Structures are given as structure tokens and as C-alpha cells.
Amino acid sequence: MDSATKYILSLRAVRERATLVGEAAKAGKLSHFDFHEKKMDDVADFVTSIIIRDYGSGRISTIPPHGRWQHIEAGGVPRVKDLLETWRKAGCDDKELCRRVIDLFFVSVLVDAGAGDTWRYTEPHTDKVYERSEGIAIASLHMFTSNAFTTSKDTTIPRVDTAGLQSLTAEALAEGFQSSERNAMVGVASRAALLRSLGQSLSAQQHVFGPDGRPGNIVDHVLRDSQDNKADLHAFWDTLQELLIPIWPKDRTLVAGQPVGDAWPLSTLERQANSDDPTAKIQPFHKLSQWLTYSLLVPFERILGIQWLNADSLTALAEYRNGGLFVDLGALTLKPEALERGCAASGQNLPLFDANDDVIVEWRAMTVALCDMVHEKVLQRIPDEHLTIAQVLEAGTWKSGRELAAQKRPETKSSPILIKSDGTLF
């Protein structure tokens, strides 16, 4: 793999390229959006107010990092905690506890790419109904505990492995997620195909995931390379990218014939490019890979006490909740021609675009850049606390985007810009 391709796969490239797009925005040189920088103080004020409302000045340090753990425990039900206690009583040591949670989080995150505006999940043996990320999280938990992702006959050990993933059908996933004609989740077939591809990739990485291709075996890999209970995020990221890049749909961007995952050509970067670098016009995001990384760091920290070095290299997630925040509060507005095209595609007053449309790529790049700006402004507003970007995502931008969507579009709670998704990107 050449150096240019390696760069596009890196976390550094996500932030550096988004920063270039942010600079273009300040100069009024975006292709599809107008940036209203004065509105950024309003955004920061709103995000800060949500953080203070939910955590107060005395509990801000307790904000968890953005991760899957919280979604699985939606509704205030300590599902992960209860599982850990059950497994401990059955004799599991901490390494095996962490392996099991990693198994769960792998599948739970990788199927979490937008459920659609109407899908709902009713938790078994309760009358509780969940939607969107929380619904997907809880559904995946129940599938995991019923051994839906393994072919192992030992039902006392819930796990995920390559054989179970490669045999997963769209019908089985639809049943597990209660998806039907009357309660349709978007992209079920694509999600099932993604997990089957994950199974194949796990099998090809036996030096990390073992002969059974178990995601949780990455625990042993990390511990072998750690020193004094410290592990390097960059090395962890490279391991995950080696696993994940082959699983994404094959119609995505290629560099020198190599797939580069969630990375897309962007006209704003192309206009700034002044080199022969074939990747100069490409904006990487690696959203699901970063979402998975954020989620996996947490069990390593909570169960094994691992301290992650360079964790601040991770960026904001370029998805519709974080991005919708800036549109709903007026910091970003679509140019008239883009708005007209999007509304013509949707047939309504909310614009609709394909996920790889230049409009969406530019919006996502601005999401990364503007979340960094908001992070700095929130730190100024709460000077006695040092909130990480992971904490601001969890308690601030993502939650703020969701709450604004519910206020402004209560019937659907949708994003202010609609995206055609196949269930493998958002």
C-alpha cells in the first residue's frame, strides 16, 4: 500500500482534510453550503446548555465517552452491567468479560447505520419500545444473548465468530430486529451482507482474531502489545482498519485500485488541490470505524483498566445528528440550487440526496470541522472542566442534534437533510 493510500486511511487525514474544508467555508468557497460563522456562538451556547442541564457543574467530569455502552442501557436499564455480573458469577475472568462485550459491540455498532424514521423495536418480555440507535442496540443485544451470531453449540458462552457471521441471513436479521412490511428497517439485506463480509475478514486475520475469527480475541492482541496498562490508539486503529476496509460495499472509492472505505471525492477539496497526489480531492470520514473504535475503547478502560494513548486523534462522527445540529441552528444553509435539487428529489420541503452526493460529502466534512470548533467553544464556556471530544459528542452535539430534530420535526424526528442510505454508512 502506498503512502497516499495509507494517509487516506488514517485518522489524521480525516481531521486535516475537514480543516481544509472548514477554511474554505470561512472564505465563502463551499460548493453547496453557506457558512454563517456568527451562528457558531449560538450553537456552542445551545450545546453547553444541554450539557449543563443533564450533568450540572458538579457532574461534568462523569460524562461517559461516546460509545455503544450507553445505547444498550437505554431507558436506564443496566443491561451491560447485569450481563457482566451474571458472567462473573459464572466464573468469567476480566479478560473473558471484555472479550464478550467486544463481541457484542462489534456487531451492534456495525449494524447501526440509521434505522429509518418509522422503525421501532419492542423489547421482549417488556412493553418498552425503542427506536433508532437505542432500538438497534437493544435488538442486537438480544440477538447476541440468543447466540444469533455464532454456530457454536455451547450456549453457555454468548459469542460472535466467523462461522456464525458468514451464515447470517437477511431473514434472520430481519426477525431479530422485528423488521416487517409494517415496521420496516432500511437496509436489512445490506446490513446482513456487511456482517457476512465481517465474518470473512475475521477469518483472514487469524493472527489477531484466532482460528475461530472471534472479534473479542482482539483483547489478547491489545494486551500483548500494551505496556504498563497503556495501549496506543493509532496501533489499535490500524488493526481495525485492516479488518474493516475489506468489508465495505465494493462500489466505494478506490485509490490505486485499493478500497479506502468511507472516503469520497469532494469538489471543495478538488478546487484547492495543487499537487499530483491522486488523493488530494478525497475527504475521508471512516464514520462507522470511528464509532466502533469509540465504543470498543470503553470496555477496555472499564473492565481491564487500559489507558489509551492518542485517543484525542479520533474525530467527531460525520453523521446526521451531529451535522443536523448546524443546519437546524442556522450555521449551515444549503445554497438555493442545492436546496431546489434536493427538494425535487424528495417531493417535500426537506431535501434528499444520495449518501455519496457531493452535497452530503461537503456537509459531513463541515460536520467534522464544526464539531472541533464547538468543542473549543464549549471548553471556553466550562473553563473548570476539560471535556474530551468524546464527551462533547456524547453529552453535547449528538444529543443536541437529536433534540432539535424532535422539536422541529416531531412526527419523524428526522434530519433536516435526508439521505438515501443502504444501512452501511449512516
Q: Is residue 249 part of a domain?
A: no
Residues 197-240 have pLDDT tens digits of 999 999 999 999 999 999 999 999 999 999 999 999 999 999 99
Mark whether 115 and 46 lie in a shared domain.
Answer: no
Predicted local confidence at residue 156, as pLDDT: 79
Mark whether 277 and 211 lie in a shared domain.
Answer: no
In DSSP notation, 206-268 reads HHHHTTTT-GGGHHHHHHHH-BTTEEEHHHHHHHHHHHHGGGS-TTS-EETTEE-SSEEE-HH
Percent of the chain clearing pLDDT 70 (strictly above): 98
Residues 372-426 have pLDDT tens digits of 999 999 999 998 888 999 999 999 999 999 999 999 999 988 999 999 876 666 5
8 Å CB contact between 151 and 199: no
Mark whether 412 and 400 lie in a shared domain.
Answer: yes
In DSSP notation, 76-93 reads G--HHHHHHHHHHHTT--
What the block records as the C-alpha cell of 244 is 474493516
Mark whether 147 and 166 lie in a shared domain.
Answer: yes
Residues 147-186 have pLDDT tens digits of 999 998 777 788 999 999 999 999 999 999 999 999 988 8
With the CA atoms of 426, 330, 353 and 315 taken in that order, what torsion angle do they form, in degrees rounded to the nearest 10? -30
Predicted local confidence at residue 157, as pLDDT: 83
**Helix intervals (H) in 56-169:** 68-72, 79-89, 94-110, 132-145, 162-166
Range of the domain at 188: 67-225
What the block records as the C-alpha cell of 209 is 482474531
Mark whether 12 and 40 lie in a shared domain.
Answer: yes
Q: Is residue 327 part of a domain?
A: yes
Mark whether 144 and 208 lie in a shared domain.
Answer: yes
Q: What are phi and psi of 39, to 5 degrees?
A: -75, -10
> Tell me, what DSSP letter sits at residue 312?
G
Q: Is residue 301 part of a domain?
A: no
Residues 26-81 have pLDDT tens digits of 999 999 999 999 999 999 999 999 999 999 867 888 999 899 999 999 999 999 99
Mark whether 35 and 73 lie in a shared domain.
Answer: no
E strands in 326-371: 332-334, 352-354
Predicted local confidence at residue 426, as pLDDT: 59
- For residue 115, is pLDDT > 80? no
Total number of domains constituting the chain: 2
CA-wise closest residue to 415 among 83, 132, 151, 185 = 132
Predicted local confidence at residue 422, as pLDDT: 65
Confidence label for 2 from pLDDT (cuts 50, 70 and 90): confident
Mark whether 139 and 93 lie in a shared domain.
Answer: yes
Mark whether 415 and 268 lie in a shared domain.
Answer: yes
Q: Is residue 138 part of a domain?
A: yes
pTM above 0.85, yes or no: yes
Predicted local confidence at residue 423, as pLDDT: 64
Mark whether 29 and 88 lie in a shared domain.
Answer: no
Mark whether 332 and 410 lie in a shared domain.
Answer: yes
Q: Is the dihedral of CA 39, 44, 49, 50 positive or negative?
A: positive
Mark whether 10 and 109 lie in a shared domain.
Answer: no
